[in-house]
Structure 1
């Protein structure tokens, strides 16, 4: 369970969550517009790609305006593509995180999951199963042991990292996400149907495994997925906490379990409010007035 959040941090999270909710509504408008005349699978895929592009441009514009940019990052990082690959640190003891904070506790849990999956190895290749049963390489988990001497180990302890998939595989995975969402659109998906829910979880996992930009991909993916869920299920979701990290660390089966247990439907449409307790977990989107399913 999440512990209390510093009031200043909570205010900041609420602000960003509200901005994400507004953009999810705008991206949903793009989907409604483009899908209204879509007559083929390719046109439906293109509609989801366009909505994703809309969200990516929104995140870049926020960065240009100096809003919600991480320390040490620039606006150009938000639209710079990852290239060959990029590593992310998972170990909570490496970096400026405070022991006992929600972020520290969450990363501690993910580090344990990663180490369990590594099972003594220094490297684990995640393999993603696509909807047709074919396989593609996803991200890689790494265990980086601390240097040998004790003094250096105190400064540089053991560390777990995740490395993104290669550029060709990431492109395949993003495309698979859009294709899966287009399939759900054709089916007029039912949120009570387990197969349809699993297909959406697959789409989310493919997207998480195929990040495109050096910075901002988590917000882009989360906001886009809220809009996509609202479109294909006609219901706004509350997404699990930090699905990007869950997807990179837990593997496909573990990610599906998180989605089954934590994804929720917003019970009453018409609100984009996010409480302080929920601000670190999700955004909520509403269908823009005047746009029909």
Structure 2
């Protein structure tokens, strides 16, 4: 059975220590489970009617699109009165990521995720507050990203090389620091200002780390080969599990929409995994950030270790 337990709440969403508020946030997992069950049922039906790998691939692609459509509809019906999760910004849940409009996300500044932290305009830092799951999560991932830079000689940009099933190497998510991160911060501030948002708290200098989506052509190739990987004939359950593990990493290197890509991808992955495995697979917490800061081998090994009963 596909249940809410298969959808661990991202640590970055838990920015409060209030248990009632946390429970409300955790409630979204049930929506994902319900949608994943529906997508799974439709996918199984389509797979049974498929005659070859091409038709199976089309079925998986349709399932992914269904997960994206659900996330958009959920955004449209959002009960948040304002802010980034309000229905006002629902269109961003189906706005495509492009080379001219990549996704950018800052990794760092954990103090802003503390419960009760306040902004000091003089020092341009967040002060006070109590640690939360979100602040601890951000601190951990900042350390992981810093370690990636220490392990490479690529300079201010570290790209995730993605080994594709056909033997090619594509460029996945990128980690930015130094001038590259400063440029990303300025671009982020410019976009927010154009939407009428407040940019006073966006830091554009100093020690910054950002993650950014890879080139559009690479993302498109990664996505389609992930679908083909899932659609291929898997002679044994262990072979199917290996295919699913690799597909998880691939899909997180190839997000398609400006908002909601993580939730849509998680929902699809549980539905797809339940279609090719004896039992539903397990996702690790903050799977999207882990895919960004980890190498392919390290990510797949960690995800494999989290599986139990999925053989």
TM-score range for the pair, normalised by the shorter chain length:
0.7 to 0.9
Alpha-carbon displacement from aligned partner over 1:102-143 (angstroms, at most 9, x marks no partner): 122122121111111112732112110012221011111111
1:92 aligns with 2:109: yes
Distance in 1 between residues matched to 2:156 and 2:81, nearest whole Å: 32
1:128 counterpart = 2:128: no
Match for residue 182 of structure 1? 231
1:112 to 132, 143, 154: 143
- Aligned to 1:237, the other structure's residue is in SS state coil
Write the distance in 1 (CA, Å) between the matches of 2:28 and 2:132.
20
Hey, what's the Cα distance between the residues in 1 that align with 2:97 and 2:42? 26
Distance 1:237 1:13, change over 3 A: farther
Q: Tell me the number of residue pairs that the alignment of Structure 1 and Structure 2 aligns.
A: 256
Q: Residue in 2 aligned with 1:280?
A: none
Distance 1:141 1:69 in 2: 33
User: 1:106/1:189 Cα in 2 relative to 1: closer, same or farther (>3 Å)?
Assistant: farther
Query: What is the CA-CA distance between 1:71 and the residue it aligns to?
Result: 2.8
**TM superposition outliers: structure 1 runs of 4+ over 6 Å:** none
Whole-angstrom CA distance in 2 between matches of 1:236 and 1:52: 17
Q: Aligned residue for 1:208?
A: 252
- Is the Cα contact below 8 Å between 1:62 and 1:68 reproduced in 2? no
What residue in structure 2 maps to residue 33 of structure 1?
45
> Residues of 1 paired with 2:204 and 2:175: CA distance?
22
- Measured in 1, the distance between the counterparts of 2:235 and 2:272 equals 12
1:75-113 per-residue CA deviation (whole Å, 9 max, x = no partner) reads: 001011111122111113374444621122122121111
The residue correspondences of 1:135-214 to structure 2 (distance < 5 A) are 135-144=169-178, 157-183=206-232, 186-187=233-234, 189-190=236-237, 193=238, 195-214=239-258
For the 8 Å contact 1:81–1:214, the answer to whether it is kept is: yes
Structure 1 length-normalised TM: 0.79
After the TM superposition, which of the residue ranges 99-108 and 89-98 deviates more from structure 2?
Answer: 89-98
Distance, in Å, in 1 between the alignment partners of 2:259 and 2:213 is 13
Aligned to 1:77: 92
- Partners of 2:221 and 2:72 in 1: how far apart? 23
Specify whether residues 88 and 31 from structure 1 end up closer, same or farther in structure 2 by C-alpha distance, changes over 3 A only.
same
Secondary structure of 1:240's aligned partner: coil
Residue 239 of structure 1 is matched in structure 2 by: 283
Inter-partner Cα distance in structure 2 for 1:94 and 1:226: 33
The 1-side partners of 2:302 and 2:248 are apart by: 12
Where does the alignment leave 5 or more consecutive residues of structure 2 unmatched?
1-10, 116-129, 183-200
Segments of 5+ residues of structure 1 without an aligned counterpart are 267-293
| Greater Cα shift, 19-28 or 64-73 | 64-73
Q: Give the alignment partner of residue 54 of structure 1, picking from 36, 55, 66.
A: 66
CA distance in structure 1 between the aligned counterparts of 2:229 and 2:51, rounded to whole angstroms: 16
Aligned to 2:3: none
Q: Pick closer, same or farther for the CA change 1:70–1:160 going to 2, 3 Å.
A: farther
TM score, norm. by length of structure 2: 0.75
Mapped contact 1:170–1:211 kept (Cα < 8 A): yes
User: Could you say what secondary structure the match of 1:54 adopts?
Assistant: helix
Deviation at 1:48, TM superposition (A): 0.4
What CA distance in whole angstroms lies between the structure 2 residues aligned with 1:263 and 1:67?
35
In structure 2, distance between residues paired with 1:252 and 1:50: 26
DSSP 3-state at the match of 2:176: strand
What is the alpha-carbon root mean square deviation over aligned residues?
Answer: 2.8
Task: Tell whether the 8 Å contact from 2:160 to 2:174 is kept in structure 1 after alignment.
Answer: yes
